[in-house]
Chains A and B, each alone.
Chain A
Amino acid sequence: MSHRLASGGRLDRTRRLRFTFDGRSYVGHAGDTLASALMANGVRLVGRSFKYHRPRGILTAGPDEPSALVELRAGARREANMPMPVVELFDGLEAQSQNRWPSLAFDILSVNSLLSRFLPAGFYYKTFMWPAAFWEKVYEPLIRRSAGLGWAAKEADPDHYETRHAHCDVLVAGSGAAGLAAARIAAEAGARVILCEQDFELGGGLLLDPALEDWRAATVAALARQSEVTLLPRTTVFGYYDSNVLGAVERVADHLAEPPEHQPRQRYWTIRAREVVLATGAHERLIAFPGNDRPGVVLAGAALSYLRRFAVAPGKRAVVFTNNDEAYDTALALREAGVEIAAIADVRPAAVRADEARRAGIDVRSGSVVTGVGGGRDVERVTVARRNGADGESLAADLLCVSGGHSPAIELASQSRTPLDWSDAIAGFVPGQPVQRQRSAGAARGIFGVAEAASDGATAGRAAVAALGLGKTEAIALPPAVARAGTPSEPFWEVKASGKAFVDLQHDVTTEDIRLAHREGYAHIEHAKRYTTHAMATDQGKTGGLVGAAVLAEARGESIAAVGMPTYRPYASPVSFGVIAGHAVGKNFAPVRRTALHAWHVRHGARFMEAGMWMRPAYYPQPGEEKDAWLSVLREARAVRRAVGICDVSTLGKIDVQGKDAGVFLDRLYTNTFSTLPIGRARYGLMLREDGIVFDDGTTSRLADDHFFMTTTTANAARVLEHMEYHAQTVWPELDVQFCAVTDHWASMSAAGPKARLALAKAVQGLDLANAAFPFMAVGDAQVAGCPVRVFRISFSGELAYEVATPAGFAEPVWEAIMAAGAEHGITPYGVEALGLLRIEKGHVAGAELGGHTTARDLGLERMLKKNGDYVGRVLAGRPGLVAPERPRLVGLRPVDPKARLRAGSHLVAAVGDGQSLGWVTSAMPSVELDCWIGLGMLSGGEAWHDKRLFAAFPLYDEYVEVAVTHPHHVDHENARVRA
């Protein structure tokens, strides 16, 4: 049965689009939405409601839609809960109805509807409590399964999304008469204008009036000609944020089966607007009456849209139920399209247009309402009665057009913190005095009628131009005002008759639910909303929100203005995760930072690990080691202890510090002194936070009297720089100090091991590496392979070691040269794992020990706290809690059974089964020197435990390992090797 009109509409009838709904094939046209195409095909039952599983049809013709929600597409592109009226038809579209089983027509859970008297608002708060264990096991799974609407896709999204940052003078949201006029005025004044329209065609209400097509087309064309105007159809402004920033989503390819190559599916616009015009129109309201949720009930404005724009007759014989004049336009248009008008029920006792309609032969029943809807799954009969319920008559009709008036679309205005004023004239909230640089225009502030809206839009455009100081504005052509006698609409919300009257069609909230909430004390609008879930569905109550508030107001005996609306929040329409996430997902979640030697590591089979944004080689598996990473790690560490290894340490933060006061500055940042450091020497430094907790450590060298080179840990590089900037710029601005990060300019590599000198001496030119000439903590410039290098004799591994820094572009030749020079000594590249092992053997602290809780004393570094002079953290480090003797202190740990494994994250307890933690294992690794696992830990009592035994408890694995407590230096207690 086709409901497609023979002519008219904004369709391209030459383009036939095939699509399926619940597996059945249908045909529509270009210009159709899924809703209009199904309607044209006579499909009315399109879904089931949330709670009672009642049959649902198409209520609206736009994003206000509460009930006609479908699953769209299939597989990885499946999307749940798509409102049919915003789904543009494309060839091959697949849609499924939702929330029904086994089928839409025979849905088992529609028994909920019969049980509905037991399921009033909030019923679950009152029951399901006994027996207690049944909640998770029985009740909740049942609730969870029956709740929810559609199924989301289960796979990764194959499409991609784009972000766009925009700036403009004037953002206009909405392209109806008001929006077009505002945009045109601003554009003519030379402003940079962005016009966003959520629909795929520009024009809003203009699209429904062929008489205005010329003005619409001419205005759009004039805008399109302006180079500073960006027209964005299919773009919903979803939120209004601080500083006049708005978010919008452009549906670039949702009207296609798949996005074209290189095109995003959707685009997320962040729009920074100097001025904003909100011309977002109005939402037509439903009226609460029994059966107002049944398929075949359509809002009057939507019906007009289906007729005029989509050339569909939404029924054959209609009843129109209204409290206002506009619905008469629908009635007349229906009749013109061949739809019989059974009657118009107008709640008003009299209306000019009622008389006109009567004269045209329509049965208008003034002072009348709809008290019920009969039929099986959709509208077959409509009962019309006097307002007091008398003279009820059941009329045969398959279409019931309803209009409860219009509520301005104030979502965005309200989000921008504009207060809402009640307007008696339109029985709705309108935006009050704006707070941000914004104004509403047209239906969005209760100015209805095309000419009026256009002229209001022009006024808003002029105001925006004036606020921008752009000077004079041109006059533009506006649609002619049509003088027409009318009758004010009468606020009307609910027909009280027996049966469920819905205020929220998606969440199945009835007028009785609202009254129940009120009776139980949930009488504040926000309580009533939460108790009943009214206006909490995907449509956020666009068609019924105010109706619910009105029912509540009546129950409270107060005005709707006093009751108010629940807070408006983003999103004006739901927004997909993907579009806001944009490109920064999966492997692009965070940019990858690579050292200059990255390619070398890749070529040599390194396994990488993430360290913040960095990728660092963890180890370099060799043939035969694939099965067990420890083999590689131990081999690498052993090479360092026995011969020589080389490690990329480029990720350490490096900061160049200069200036007359550089030394003083460093003295205040570090707990120890740097102003006394000789030129050509390095020193280990410790930094505290101002609260006395250890912040960072590293070596800093003096290159000249007024020039230092500082290093930080990889993790804290950025924070240390910021810390320095804070102190230099705000605390001690008088100091002559200049510094900047040079982490990326220098690549650095550590050559460590007893043979390090032998290996390096062959590669390094221009520097005598002999112990006497270049002792521990010496710094000097040299060349390797013709490249400039700076050599630091510092060591993290505890071996004789040199850190060789070179400008990053020379990293590979320098590294290769050292590798070549060290080949005869068995030089071995080692990764972060081996580095960790070596430092644990040495008892050097790192991230695991510096976790933001430890003091210098805790780490056994109290000797680094200078006695005199100010430094960051000095005072608060002395608080009693931070110097308490029972604080955990750094110790070494070894399992008593040399075969036993020690795990980081274990706790130290006195006996198996003891719940009292004395400390914990911060780091653990198998040792190459000791042939057993070793660890570092923080232990209350610290050195008092040396040579005593405890248990490392790992109850997560039910493991207890007996450990001996040792000095943290497992290897080379005397620190002789580094000086060798």
Chain B
Amino acid sequence: MPVSAPEPRSPLVQALKPGRHGAVGARQVTLRAYRRSLVQLQARKGRAADLATAVRQGLGLALPPPGRAETSPTLAAIWIQPSAWLLCAPYLAEGDLARSVRAAVGSAGAVVDQTHGKSVLRLSGPTARAVLETGCRIDLHPRAFAPGQAAATPVGHIDCILRQLDNAPSYELIVASTLAEAFVDWLLHAAAAYGCEVLPPD
């Protein structure tokens, strides 16, 4: 009798102990790990338009252009490469997202499950931008970067997919799982000057 799969373990659950880190004060940021299903979707040669249609019809989402993310109530699509997107949804059951995306796109796209390969974090608060600026080389000023924008770029020597969620500002940071612990080490250090409240994982 097959037993049901246990909850997958995220490296961040270990690394990111809820509680306060660094300075105490009003300028603190909050940091939280998120359990997400992730799928990389790539158009087959010459099928980008078909893929866009299939995703719109099947998943109710427009595939965004370079540098942007699109969201529906249940799904976010982040442009990561020409004709390639990272789809991100709350974690439900193992392989579900990949299966439903595969069903929706058919032969128009290649679907690769990345749920375990990447870890998702959210950094939020008025000083979140200042914290990221200690390691992020792109311009996050509101005139240059706003909710809905996304970028693949290194943050503190670790490659990252970064997306702005709101004007708090909140940033979603997606990093390789094998580097997630190193990344939060760095991030907590970077945030120490302002203080950082780590919330329990979502």
Chain A interface residues toward B at CB < 8 A: 162-167, 192, 261-264, 270, 272, 583-584, 588, 590-596, 598-599, 613-614, 650, 656, 658-661, 734-738, 740-747, 765-766, 783, 785-788, 807-813
Contacts of A747 in B (CB 8 A): 116
- Quote the shortest CB–CB distance from B9 to chain A (angstroms): 5
Contact status B137-A738, CB under 8 Å: no
With a cutoff of 8 Å between Cβ atoms, the chain B residues found around residue A736 in the complex are: 44-46
For residue A573, give the distance in angstroms from its CB to the closest CB of chain B: 23
Question: Are the CB atoms of A744 and B182 closer together than 8 Å?
Answer: no
- Whether, in the assembled complex, B164 has its beta carbon less than 8 Å from a beta carbon of chain A, the answer is no
Known: A162-B193, A165-B133. Is A588-B186 also a contact (CB below 8 A)?
yes
Tell me if B44 and A262 are in contact (CB < 8 A).
no
- Contacting pair A583 B144 (CB below 8 A): no
B interface: dominant SS: loop
Q: How many A-B residue pairs have CB under 8 A?
A: 156
List residues of chain B with CB within 8 A of the CB of A744: 116-118, 176-178
Partner of A583, one of B14, B156, B193: B156
The answer, yes or no, to whether B94 is at the interface (CB within 8 Å) is yes
How close is A578's CB to chain B, nearest CB, in angstroms? 15
Chain B residue with minimal CB distance to A592?
Answer: B182
Residues of B within 8 A of A (CB): 2-11, 14, 22-23, 40, 42-46, 84, 94-95, 110, 112-118, 133-137, 139, 141, 143-144, 156-158, 176-179, 181-183, 185-186, 189-190, 192-193, 195
* Shortest Cβ gap from B159 to chain A (Å): 10
How many Å from the CB of B73 to the closest CB on chain A? 25
Tell me the smallest distance from the CB of B55 to a CB of chain A, in Å.
15
State whether B114 touches A745 (Cβ < 8 A): yes
Residue contact B42 to A807, C-beta cutoff 8 Å: no
Minimal Cβ-Cβ distance residue in B for A613: B179
Whether the Cβ atoms of A738 and B6 lie closer than 8 Å is no
- Choose one: A165, A656, A745, A810; the contact of B6 (CB below 8 Å): A810
Ranked nearest first, the 7 interchain pairs of A and B with the lowest CB-CB distance are A809-B8, A745-B117, A736-B45, A786-B3, A744-B117, A591-B182, A808-B116
- Expressed in whole angstroms, the minimum distance between the Cβ of A670 and any Cβ of chain B is 20
Q: Are B181 and A807 touching (Cβ within 8 A)?
A: no
Residues of A within 8 A of B192 (CB): 262
Partner of B144, one of A167, A591, A613: A167
With A583-B156, A743-B117: A593-B178 Cβ-Cβ less than 8 Å: yes
Using known A-B contacts A262-B22, A588-B186, determine if residue A788 contacts B5 with beta carbons closer than 8 Å. yes
Complex: A740 Cα to B4 Cα, angstroms = 29
When the two chains form their complex, are residues B110 and A659 in contact, meaning their CB atoms are under 8 A apart?
A: yes
Complex CA gap A660/B177 in Å reads 30
B10 touches A809 (CB 8 A): yes
| B195 CB → nearest A CB, Å | 8
Q: How far is the CB of A649 from chain B (nearest CB, A)?
A: 13
Q: Do B157 and A659 touch (CB < 8 A)?
A: no
The reply to whether B3 and A742 contact each other, CB–CB distance below 8 Å, is: no
A261 CA to B193 CA, complexed, in Å:
8
Whole-angstrom distance between the Cβ of A814 and the nearest chain B Cβ: 10
- CB atoms of B2 and A786 under 8 A apart: yes
B115 and A583 form a contact (CB under 8 A):
no
What would be 29 A-B contacts, judged by CB atoms less than 8 Å apart? A162-B190, A164-B133, A165-B133, A167-B144, A262-B23, A262-B192, A270-B137, A583-B186, A590-B157, A593-B182, A613-B179, A656-B112, A658-B112, A738-B110, A740-B114, A742-B117, A743-B117, A745-B116, A745-B118, A745-B177, A746-B117, A747-B116, A766-B2, A783-B2, A788-B95, A807-B115, A809-B8, A809-B10, A810-B9
Task: Please name the residue on chain A nearest to B7 by beta carbon.
Answer: A809
Question: Could you tell me the distance in whole angstroms from the C-beta of B16 to the nearest C-beta in chain A?
Answer: 14
Which residue of chain B lies nearest to A582 when distances are taken between CB atoms in the complex? B134
Which of B2, B10, B42, B190 is close to A740, meaning CB atoms less than 8 Å apart? B42
B residues less than 8 Å from A583 (CB atoms): 156, 186, 189-190
- Complex CA gap A162/B14 in Å reads 26
CB of A809 to closest CB in B, whole Å: 2
Q: With the chains together, A747 CA to B5 CA distance in Å?
A: 16
Docked complex Cα distance between A766 and B5 (Å):
14
- In the bound complex, residues from chain A placing their C-beta under 8 Å from that of B112 are 656, 658, 740, 742, 745
Nearest chain B CB to A472 CB, angstrom units: 19
Give min CB distance, B47 to chain A, whole Å.
Answer: 9
Measured CA separation A591–B181 after assembly (Å): 9
Which residues does chain A contribute within 8 Å of B137, judged by CB atoms? 165, 270
Cα–Cα, bound, A228→B190 (Å):
23
